[in-house]
Amino acid sequence: MNEVSKNNVFDKSLFGQNFKWGVSTSAYQIEGAHDTGGKGNSIWDKFSEEKGRINNGHHGKITCDFYNRFEDDLKLIKELNIPNFRFSISWSRILPKGIGDVNQEGIDYYNKIIDSCIEKGIEPWITLYHWDLPHELEAKGGWTNRKIIYWFTEYVEICAHAFGDRVKHWMVLNEPMVFTGAGYFLGVHAPGKKGLSNFLPALHHAVLAQAQGIRVLKSIVANAEVGTTISCSHIEPYDSNLRNSLAAKRIDILVNRMFLEPLLGRGYPIIHKKLTAKLNKYILPGDEILMKADFDFIGIQNYTREIVKHSWYTPFLKAKIISADKRSVPITAMNWEIYPESIYNVLKQFGSYAEIKKIIITENGAAFNDTVVDEKVEDFHRKEFLENYLQQVLRARKEGVCVEGYFVWSLLDNFEWSEGFYPRFGIVHVDFETQKRTIKASGAWFKEFLK
Ligand code: BGC
């Protein structure tokens, strides 16, 4: 049964006064201005120039032009009654070469955003790394080079000193399993590298950077609330067959536990002994301690669930994901199953770790083929999606899970990585020809919900 508040509506009051409501974005997906303001190239600038990498040859050179329009977009956030804004810093705006000379124009730009947020009563939440590594660092091996821990430390220190007097909510990495998996194993995201010999060092160095970033922020920023974000999906076996159940367990480790458990001090969970032996080659004495850090919250990013079958053909994992369009289930434009209970299940799973004291849903949302008709976007399916997922968040909260915030992905339709501009995730529609913004029905609903 649907939950309703005293006023007979499903609104924010059901979640309690201190629950954090917000909206999420990331630099490369919205900023544009790819070569303006002293910015260096990132791996996504380079990757989108390579033929065949992005659907329809799209790129993020302009995207939502947030770089020039942030003032108006922040006004929109205010108009929508959204009290918290999550955005990411582009490393190559701050350090065009990744290390060394600091670009003051980059610092000034983010200062303007932060100050404008505060002036409007919007709390800024910063993600330090949302996938746009400076290209010059990739030329030195990027995440496969252990030196990245020092490069990242330098970058985090600069941001902490520059913005930490006003920004108190920080996330170190955005979905490390996605940027290491898609970028260094499958080669479908920047920098387009493939195979275990790239993936395993990238994974281990990202695990170390995740903990290091938390330590650096905690040591520099007074009263900071520091966390990191993890892409999580509820994983289920295809049926009760034992082989399929074991395959689902292995996918669950890879998707949900690989970046979390080392941070908690539990070390790497084991998928397959031989894979662990390969990973161990990159682990130096003392790393187990360095992988752990004292964080304040875990950011959960959930969209869907995955159904898993045993497969002889996938090395070590011996598992395959059955795509949603093969299962006759409702799907979004990303071919992800619409399954609200997924968010409840991952909340229960993450909430069961004693070390986790606070969970924030740092992303949840859906892509649909929205169109503007008579200056309106009637995306009632997105409204329904958000409402149904939120019902499940509330259910978990009522059962005692420490979930204390929810951020919609995303404010604006934007550059959806290798998918280009086709999947629209925004609660605000963007016409990429004219840059006109139109609040969608889902945005109007969220505004009312938050009133
Ligand atoms: C990422 C976003 C992305 C969204 C939808 C998350 O994996 O953090 O950058 O746009 O999901 O795919």
For the chain, what are the domain ranges? 3-449
pLDDT at 2: 67
Residue 341 annotated among the catalytic residues of the structure: no
Mean pLDDT for the chain?
A: 98
Pairing of strands 305-310, 319-322: antiparallel
- What is the share, in percent, of the chain residues with pLDDT greater than 90? 98
Q: How much is the average pLDDT of 172-176?
A: 99
User: Mutate which of 343, 363, 364 to test ligand 1's pocket (most atoms within 8 Å of Cβ)?
Assistant: 363
* Centroid of ligand 1 to alpha carbon of 183 (angstroms): 14
Q: How much is the average pLDDT of 430-444?
A: 98
pLDDT at 9: 86
How far is 60 from 399, CA to CA, in rounded Å?
Answer: 42
* DSSP-assigned letter for residue 337: B
pLDDT per position as a tens digit, 73-104: 999 999 999 999 999 999 999 999 999 999 99
pLDDT per position as a tens digit, 331-384: 999 999 999 999 999 999 999 999 999 999 999 999 999 999 999 999 999 999
CATH architecture classification, 3-449? Alpha-Beta Barrel (3.20)
Helix (H) / strand (E) element for 125: namely strand 123-129
pLDDT at 433: 98
Which ligand 1 atom is the nearest neighbour of the CA of 301? 6
User: Mutate which of 58, 173, 175, 361 to test ligand 1's pocket (most atoms within 8 Å of Cβ)?
Assistant: 175
User: Is any ligand 1 atom within 6 A of the Cβ of residue 136?
Assistant: no
Q: Does residue 1 have a pLDDT over 70?
A: no
User: Is any ligand 1 atom within 6 A of the Cβ of residue 379?
Assistant: no
Reported pTM: 0.98
CA 391 to chain centre: 21
Ligand 1, atom 9: closest residue by C-alpha: 26
Q: Does residue 4 have a pLDDT over 80?
A: no
Residue 433 annotated among the catalytic residues of the structure: no
pLDDT per position as a tens digit, 29-43: 999 999 999 999 999
pLDDT at 7: 73
Residue 56: other Cβ atoms inside 10 A: 9
pLDDT at 22: 99
Q: How much is the average pLDDT of 44-51?
A: 98
What one-letter code names the amino acid at 415?
A: F
Ligand 1, atom 12: closest residue by C-alpha: 416
